[in-house]
Amino acid sequence: MAYRTHSPHSLDALVRDMIVKAGWSPQEAHETAHHLVLANLSGHDSHGVGMLPLYFQALKDGNLSPASRPTTRLDAAPFLIVDAGVSLGQPAARNAVEQAAAMAKTGGVAILNLLDAHHIGRIGHYAEAAAEHGLISLFWVNVAGRPPIVAPHAAKEARFGTNPHAIGIPVPDGDPIILDFATSRMAHGKARVAFNKGEQVQPGYIIDGEGRPTTEPKHVFPFAIPDLPLGALLPFGDHKGAGLSLIAELLSAGLMGAARIDEKPAKSWIINSLFGILIDPARLEPDAELRKSRIESYLAFVRAAKPQDTSNPVLAPGDKERALRVERAASGIPLDNETWSQIKAAAADHGIDADSY
């Protein structure tokens, strides 16, 4: 599959202009563009600008509206509950995390529940935002508004979303540890990227609608197999990833009555609810120098493990994304032609010529 390399700067300008033209504010456009382009820079193309055509389809279908605004349900430290009201996800989630961070800086801890946001993207983005404030963060997220796509352990059919999980630990005057992953072996968006590229996925990631192993990503996209039963992604770590997915569904949405995966989707949208805990590490160990040396000495111990293969070094969570950001800031962001043509069509609907950026 052919692809073209784009400059991060021009993609950011294009996404911002598309979002403003569609009716959102410049601030909402800035946050969303920054989030999506940073996801591409970090190597997570599944959660980058390629998501924009899906957001614009939801807008076209009347399922996502620039007029929707989050409302605070409870602001009583340490609890912050925000109903996003299916507003644009990245600004809703970033604002909620910023509010929770201010609460945690004051009181040592904040417990955040963001309900019913439209797709909020890469969850590590919010762990990075918390780490910039010097805060530890733990996030669990569900994915509703779509059919189940991940099979429980030992099941032949899906019952979960890809329910991601992220944890960030700041290192004083250093790079934070950012662990951030879908609880499926492969993020659904990565299967979309493989499908758009016409590629197979690795064995062990997908089952078809009969529960048989397959390497064809089409089995997890209803539009690609309209006459066949939908297959499923498999959970990572067998029963362990499946258990984490179940917990994420209940913690983020299930307890509070937000959109859940077992409700039939009313509209074509992706709904995320997020449960987060933000902690000021200075309340645990006030001496920042000690915290830094304790974390860094342990990371050095881990990274010094002999690699299986010298071309594949032992990394800490977050290292890979940071290295790719440096590489792609210089070399550009590769987008396959299918993804680019979907972005161009969405831009053209709003009178924008994407090729002119």
Q: Which residue ranges make up the site for ligand NAD (CB under 6 A)?
A: 44, 46-47, 119-124, 141, 143, 162, 164, 166, 178-182, 187, 190, 272, 315, 317-318, 320-321
- Judged by beta carbon, residue 99 or residue 142, the one nearer ligand NAD is 142
- Judged by beta carbon, residue 95 or residue 272, the one nearer ligand NAD is 272
CA 122 to chain centre: 2
Least spacing, CB of residue 1 vs ligand NAD, in Å: 19
Least spacing, CB of residue 10 vs ligand NAD, in Å: 23
CA–CA dist 103, 92 (Å, integer):
17
* One-letter identity of residue 15: V
- Judged by beta carbon, residue 17 or residue 28, the one nearer ligand NAD is 28
- Judged by beta carbon, residue 84 or residue 166, the one nearer ligand NAD is 166
- Judged by beta carbon, residue 17 or residue 275, the one nearer ligand NAD is 275
Least spacing, CB of residue 303 vs ligand NAD, in Å: 10
Least spacing, CB of residue 90 vs ligand NAD, in Å: 10
CA–CA dist 150, 25 (Å, integer):
35
CB 161 within 8 A of CB 149: yes
Least spacing, CB of residue 125 vs ligand NAD, in Å: 7
CA–CA dist 166, 274 (Å, integer):
11
User: Kind and range of the H or E element at 301?
Assistant: helix 288-303
User: 172: closest CA among 292, 284, 287?
Assistant: 292
| CB neighbours of residue 335 within 10 Å | 23
Least spacing, CB of residue 39 vs ligand NAD, in Å: 7
Least spacing, CB of residue 65 vs ligand NAD, in Å: 20
CA–CA dist 29, 81 (Å, integer):
24
- Judged by beta carbon, residue 276 or residue 317, the one nearer ligand NAD is 317
CA–CA dist 49, 32 (Å, integer):
9
CA–CA dist 96, 114 (Å, integer):
7
| CB neighbours of residue 307 within 10 Å | 11
Least spacing, CB of residue 353 vs ligand NAD, in Å: 29
Q: What is 182-209 written as a DSSP string?
A: -SBSS-HHHHHHHHHHTPPPPTTSEE-T
Least spacing, CB of residue 357 vs ligand NAD, in Å: 25
Bridge partners (DSSP) of residue 207 are: 213, 232
Phi, psi of 48 (to 5 degrees): -100, -150
166 three-class SS: strand
- Judged by beta carbon, residue 135 or residue 233, the one nearer ligand NAD is 233
User: Kind and range of the H or E element at 90?
Assistant: helix 89-107
- Judged by beta carbon, residue 117 or residue 347, the one nearer ligand NAD is 117
User: 259: closest CA among 84, 12, 53?
Assistant: 84
- Judged by beta carbon, residue 30 or residue 190, the one nearer ligand NAD is 190
